[in-house]
Amino acid sequence: MITIVHTTDLVHDDPCGLSHALALTRAAGGRLVLLHASDGHEPTGRMPDTAPLLRAWGVDPRAVDVVEHVHRCCEEPADTLIDALNRLAPDLVVATTHRRGALARMFAGSVAETMAANTRVPTLLLPEGTRGVVVQADGRVDVRRILVPLGDAAAAEVALRAAVWFGRMCGVTTAEVVLLHVGAPQAEPASVDDLPPGWTVTRRDVVAHGVSVEDAIVGEVREQCLVVMATRGHDSFVDVVRGSHTERVLHRVGCPVLSVAV
């Protein structure tokens, strides 16, 4: 059974994060863990209530496996979160990035470096306020365009395989996969030949001087778009996303970013 973790600070939750975690869990037939990394004090808020959202989608709340988990172990939130993820061993983490608050700090500066160095769990990052890829009326996952920026060959292969895994998990039957490379053209990942039936591939090579990866990604984003990035410590775009430029990059892209480790 697939396990999906949705991180919550009990205060700054964006409904988009919960709806994505719940919709993905429902599509995968898995289990959703609502995770709060506690600093040792009693939580001051309540876990998000999934029942009203499921009822709005016409789903019996009992049909989706949802559990709550408050984890305590360390003084730093990131260390507590890492310890919880190591113990839970989920298949996917869903987290909202906020302009302010605990999660904004969690994905910034040295905390992000700690996260990247100590967990290999794929993470779906949702900029606060984004519409994302879930149809709010009925909870369907609607991904039409999957943008895979190409780094080195190994990273490109990991990112594309993650894109296919994510699409299969949430039942995507038709999607355009955009392979985006900034700089000198390079070979396509080998797994491009293993895409599901109904998926198409578009190649974009951006060779213009002065165009950054961020600029190129923004230029290719459309509605119902997902960006899939592979990270290898400091040698990747996601290192920038999870570092000091988290807010600027994620809010400029304006769509979900799936981060996967090489």
Q: Which residues pair with 124 in a beta bridge?
A: 94, 258
The predicted pLDDT at position 246 comes to 39
* 67 lies in the same domain as 30: yes
Q: Which of 111, 95, 76, 103 is nearest to 243 (CA)?
A: 111
* 152 lies in the same domain as 123: no
Residue 257 lies in a domain: yes
* 14 lies in the same domain as 82: yes
Residue 91 lies in a domain: yes
* Domain end residue (candidates: 127, 157, 184): 127
* 85 lies in the same domain as 147: no
The predicted pLDDT at position 101 comes to 44
The predicted pLDDT at position 107 comes to 46
Domain containing residue 213: CATH number: 3.40.50.620
The predicted pLDDT at position 133 comes to 92
The predicted pLDDT at position 156 comes to 86
* 117 lies in the same domain as 147: no
Render pLDDT for 25-64 as a digit per residue (tens, 0 to 9): 999 999 999 998 876 666 556 788 999 999 999 999 999 9
The whole-angstrom separation of Cα 226 and Cα 222 is 9
* 156 lies in the same domain as 249: yes
Domain that holds residue 100: 3-127
* 150 lies in the same domain as 219: yes
Residue 133 lies in a domain: no
* 207 lies in the same domain as 147: yes
* 33 lies in the same domain as 105: yes
* 9 lies in the same domain as 123: yes
pTM comes to 0.85
Residue 232 lies in a domain: yes
* 9 lies in the same domain as 115: yes
Q: Which of 106, 78, 136, 80 is nearest to 12 (CA)?
A: 106
The predicted pLDDT at position 74 comes to 81
Residue 136 lies in a domain: no
Residue 160 lies in a domain: yes
Residue 77 lies in a domain: yes
Rama region for 40: left / alpha / beta (φ>0; ψ in -120 to 50; rest) = left
Q: Which residues pair with 126 in a beta bridge?
A: 96
* Domain end residue (candidates: 127, 156, 181): 127
Residue 56 lies in a domain: yes
Q: Which residues pair with 135 in a beta bridge?
A: 140
The 3-class secondary structure across the chain, one letter per residue, is CCEEEEECCCCCCCHHHHHHHHHHHHHHCCEEEEEEEECCCCCCCCCCCCHHHHHHCCCCHHHCEEEEEEEECCCCHHHHHHHHHHHHCCCEEEEEECCCCHHHHHCCHHHHHHHHHHCCCCEEEEECCCCCCEECCCCEECCCEEEEECCCHHHHHHHHHHHHHHHHHCCCCCEEEEEEEECCCCCCCHHHHHCCCCEEEEEEEECCCCCCHHHHHHHHCCCCEEEEEEECCCCCHHHHHCCCCHHHHHHHHCCCEEEEEC
Low-confidence ranges of the chain (pLDDT < 50): 100-113, 116-117, 234, 239-247
* 155 lies in the same domain as 119: no
Whole-number Cα distances in Å, 129 to 14, 54, 136, 211: 7, 20, 13, 27
Number of domains in the chain: 2
The predicted pLDDT at position 117 comes to 47
* Domain end residue (candidates: 127, 156, 180): 127
Q: Are strands 175-182 and 199-206 parallel, antiparallel or unpaired?
A: parallel
